[in-house]
Amino acid sequence: MIVPARKPNLSYILLKTGLVYDVRMRYHAKIYTSYFEYIDPHPEDPRRIYRIYKILAENGLIIDPSLCGSDDIGDYMLKIPIREAKKEEILAVHSEEHLKFIESTQNMNKDELLKATEKGDSVYFNNDSLLSAKLSCGGAIEACKAVVEGKVKNAMAVVRPPGHHAEPDAPGGFCLFSNVAVAATSILDSYPESVRKIVIIDWDIHHGNGTQKVFYNDPRVLYISLHRYEQGKYYPGTKAGGADQVGEDLGEGLNVNIPWPVGGVGDADYIYAFRKVVMPICYEFQPDLVIISSGFDAADGDVIGGCHVSPAGYGQMTHMLKSLARGNLCVVLEGGYNLDSIAKSALRVAKVLIGEPPEELKQINPKIESIEVIDDVIKIQSRYWKSLGPGYTGLDYNLPSIMGNFDKLTSQSPDPTFIEVASKHERLNDAVRDHQRTALFEKYNFSTLPLFIEKLPNTQSYNASTILCSPDIYENDKIVIIVHDPSRIWARRDPITGDLDPANAVTVDKSLDFIEWALKQKWGVIDINIPITITGKDDATYNNINTSQDILLYLWDNFLHFFKAQKIAFIGVGEAYNGIIHLCGHRDVRKLVKASINFVDKATALRAVISTIDESIVDWFFRNSLVFTSSKHSCWGDKDTGNTKRPRKKYGRVLRADVEGLDGVIDERFDEVCTFIQESLEDYESESDSES
């Protein structure tokens, strides 16, 4: 019963990978004005495209012994004929003035060229700039076209000058025409049936302001850029690359910026971003064509980019993007200035395009800053992409997207949606503290210490719950004062709705352990909770650090002075610890205060004692204080970069825990702290008495 094969002799042809390259794109070059420019040439160097072409030949991906761009380049890649971009193609993206200006450089004399170079934003011109730029742009179009028409399985356009900084009406950042934007527009216009949606992935280390602008309100193009940002200080130096720039009108939600807050990112960060954001979004968008704006200036070795993406990393990203749009993928060169780095990176990309598996990566763990920024991007983009919501189940209910907008009201530009949500509901930290008060009342007979400071919020919950104290507080000669941020909470989130399940959640507050321990020593206890935010309208002006300062001064001036206490120990937990440091600088607490123990998480800056009274306070503070930081606190520098440091003495005796998170740090050091306080508050005479 053997069924014969239906077409056993059909021969299977694997399509080749297309390649665009032409030596004439080397003609655009900076006119030397000094010997210095000769020995240290402009980074956007004509050799960039040659070096990429050469490494492809050296590795046998193409056959071209003369390296001058022959037409027959062997079995794996197919040469795609280049041409100059047509006027109407360019004008579909750029203004007439822009085109006319670039055209005018063709006939300028040297002085005019230098003047135009000087006037522009990081661009240069010679009389061949127009030709090179038109070829670069036309090359990008032809590469995309060959992919869309099925002549090649995918393509790589090794072109220059780059394009992604060129805005519709201005060149910039080494870019004359917005090559990828022109190509994408041309394809969308020429193949309206087969190409309705294009994704542009811009992994050049700089934000592609030009490309973003062209498609900012265009629903046909999803633009995703990963770039070094540094709050807009990194080139191009505007806020256009911020994560909050999501597109407008019909294009809203189709502009995705992943702005690295620091340099030094590498494979792990990019793979993390791809896994968490880029690939889910692209799957959901279902593009017909993927274009990579492929700068290689995030590559290891590029001093302008200052990052560490390896050739393997570029290979992995290319491999992932190949899974989209039936493999219709076109790689167009943008920046990248280390000639070795760009050649090696482009080689790996080309190998993956041809069909080789990507090399494996060594680095797995992204930077903390990257995890944080990806979390922000998800928060912002989950409004538009179901696959970034908790369960991406296609639910219409927008709870997860409201959820996504939660942000600290203490930050400079609070999210209006969060303010709206928060104004309607109760802040959880208030609920938890209110309950702590009840519990401490019931368990240890604690009471509220009256709090009357005019500028503090005047709500019942705030007044009643902020300062609590043990019943013997007026009499006890030893007092432990705990000043802390609100409890942390551990909980499981419903994967579908994003709700937390309060039945499967617990409050975690190590401060309570200190209270119990101090009560066991028969000492008085004052427990001060400094909320980060508060329920109600006062929240807009509320600041937790100022509050902790005000409250500790108030406590000192109105109570501690008049209590019978002879010895006091402070324990500060989290941002609230600022109040203790501030107090030590503004009152002479040395007679009463015998110890100050503080726990500081990575997000809380260390604070120096700056005395308004007596310089020797700094020394006293150093001898009587411990400040425990989480392992990755920035005061220790960055182990990864080898740039380690030690905090100075004015911060007190700073010790580094092995773990992250306030609760973890306290857990690790609890016994040590108890011993330190015990020794500090110990009463030598009475002790020897009892021993005798």
- Looking at 27-35, 157-165, 223-231, 659-667, which segment touches a second copy (CB under 8 A)? 659-667
Which residues carry out catalysis?
Answer: 165
Q: For residue 594, which phi and psi values (nearest 5 degrees)?
A: -105, -15
Size of the site for a second copy (CB under 8 A): 132
Q: Which is nearer to a second copy, 151 or 488 (CB)?
A: 488
For residue 479, give both structure tokens. 């007092």
Q: Tell me the three state secondary structure of residue 180.
A: helix
Does 490 help bind a second copy (rule: CB under 8 A)? yes
Contact in structure between 684 and 655 (CB atoms under 8 Å): no
User: What is the footprint of a second copy within residues 663-682 (CB under 8 A)?
Assistant: 663-664
| Inter-residue long-range contacts of 53-60, CB under 8 Å, 24+ positions, other chains counted | 53/21, 53/158, 54/343, 55/343, 55/344, 55/346, 55/347, 56/19, 56/346, 56/347, 56/350, 59/347
CA angle 490-496-499, nearest 5°?
Answer: 40
Least distance from C-beta 383 to a second copy, angstroms? 14
Site string for a second copy, 287-316 (x = CB under 8 A): -----------------------------x
CA–CA separation, 56 and 352 (whole Å) = 13
CA–CA separation, 685 and 662 (whole Å) = 36
User: What is the footprint of a second copy within residues 75-114 (CB under 8 A)?
Assistant: 76
Q: Which is nearer to a second copy, 31 or 421 (CB)?
A: 421
Among 106, 189, 450, 496, binds a second copy (CB under 8 A): 496
Q: How many CB atoms lie within 10 A of CB 266?
A: 22
Q: In which order are the strands placed within the sheet that holds 255-260?
A: 77-79, 17-20, 154-157, 329-333, 289-294, 198-202, 221-228, 255-260
Phi/psi class of residue 471: alpha, beta or left (left: φ > 0; alpha: ψ in -120 to 50)?
alpha
Q: Which is nearer to a second copy, 42 or 632 (CB)?
A: 632
Q: Which is nearer to a second copy, 426 or 619 (CB)?
A: 426
Q: Which is nearer to a second copy, 320 or 349 (CB)?
A: 320
Name residue, tokens 């606190």: 633
- Looking at 160-168, 183-191, 237-245, 654-662, which segment touches a second copy (CB under 8 A)? 654-662
Does 194 help bind a second copy (rule: CB under 8 A)? no
Among 32, 502, 522, 672, binds a second copy (CB under 8 A): 502
User: What is the footprint of a second copy within residues 514-533 (CB under 8 A)?
Assistant: 531-533
Does 32 help bind a second copy (rule: CB under 8 A)? no
Phi/psi class of residue 410: alpha, beta or left (left: φ > 0; alpha: ψ in -120 to 50)?
alpha
User: What is the footprint of a second copy within residues 458-487 (CB under 8 A)?
Assistant: 460-461, 486-487
CA angle 501-506-508, nearest 5°?
Answer: 145
DSSP state of 600: E
For residue 516, give both structure tokens. 């119990």
User: What is the footprint of a second copy within residues 108-167 (CB under 8 A)?
Assistant: 153-154
Least distance from C-beta 257 to a second copy, angstroms? 18
User: What is the footprint of a second copy within residues 580-619 (CB under 8 A)?
Assistant: 602
User: What is the footprint of a second copy within residues 433-452 (CB under 8 A)?
Assistant: 434-436, 438-439, 442
Q: Which is nearer to a second copy, 83 or 493 (CB)?
A: 493
CA–CA separation, 466 and 447 (whole Å) = 11
Does 537 help bind a second copy (rule: CB under 8 A)? no
Site string for a second copy, 332-371 (x = CB under 8 A): ----------------------xxxxxxxx--xxx-x--x
For residue 469, give both structure tokens. 């104290």
Q: Which is nearer to a second copy, 248 or 420 (CB)?
A: 420
Least distance from C-beta 640 to a second copy, angstroms? 10
Least distance from C-beta 323 to a second copy, angstroms? 5
Candidates 636, 641, 602; CA nearest to 264 is 641
Site string for a second copy, 48-77 (x = CB under 8 A): --x---x--xxxxx-xxx-x------x-x-
User: What is the footprint of a second copy within residues 396-435 (CB under 8 A)?
Assistant: 396-397, 399, 402-403, 406-408, 418, 421-422, 425-432, 434-435
